[in-house]
Amino acid sequence: MFDALSITHKNLFLNKMSGYERYNEAELLSLLIQGDEKAFDVIFRSHFDALFNHAFKRLRNKEDSQELVQQIFLSLWENRHKLHHVRPPLRIYLSCAMRYNIIKHYRNSGVRERYAAHYTRVATLADNSTQEEIDFRETQSLVEEAVSSLPERMQEAFRLSREENLSSEFIAQRMNISPRTAENLLMQALKRLRTSLGETMLLVILLNS
């Protein structure tokens, strides 16, 4: 299994010698998309402490906090080829991802629903100087509302893709349509959700669900 810390330890010395620290975040993100482990390591080390401290402040549990940080970087690495729409500063995306994962952690850990809902309502981003920032109040209901507002066939295709993890070919079979039509429905769904939810929130949800 992928272990972000193992990549960090393996590349720690190499990064110091390779000059990766001189790259700005946009360049590191571009290298990450190409599968560069050392660029990933620099990003990991730059953001680990802030993400861990954020998680620990909410969870008060070291192991759970480390696990959430690992999950976020696991998602970042496994979905690196989908990160073309992410723009620096990367801390905005990572902060959104952490808040989203904390909410999921509360729900999945059996903590009362109203406590998780309360966290969702009061969670806000520390930085408010960019339009990409997201207010995570009522995140789950906002997402469901946006998906439910899609036209029926578009909504069906999207749910089959996200909830059942089906490819466009299998979606086409299930819906008795052509693969091209299925792809078009998914593209239109993403376009509408991007408009209603915003680019950063949509990416956080798609890559961390």
H or E element at residue 72 = helix 62-78
Mean pLDDT of the chain: 77
What is the pLDDT averaged over residues 149-157? 92
Q: Using 50, 70 and 90 to split pLDDT, how confident is the model at 22?
A: confident
pLDDT digits (tens, 9 = 90+) for 43-86: 999 999 999 998 898 888 899 999 999 999 999 999 898 888 78
What φ, ψ does residue 7 adopt, rounded to 5°? -65, -40
Spatial separation of the C-alpha atoms in residues 108 and 119, rounded to whole Å: 14
Spatial separation of the C-alpha atoms in residues 13 and 36, rounded to whole Å: 16
Which pLDDT does position 18 carry in this prediction? 59
Spatial separation of the C-alpha atoms in residues 111 and 104, rounded to whole Å: 10
Which pLDDT does position 109 carry in this prediction? 63
CB of 185 closer than 8 Å to CB of 159: no
Give percent above pLDDT 70 in the chain.
Answer: 68
Q: Take residue 127 and report the two structure tokens written for it.
A: 């930085």
Q: Take residue 84 and report the two structure tokens written for it.
A: 């073309």
Domain 140-208 in CATH 1.10.10.10: yes
Q: Using 50, 70 and 90 to split pLDDT, how confident is the model at 188?
A: very high
Highest mean pLDDT pick, 6-20, 60-74, 124-138, 195-209? 60-74
Q: How many C-beta neighbours within 10 Å does residue 10 have?
A: 14
Please state the domain extents for the chain.
Answer: 4-137, 140-208
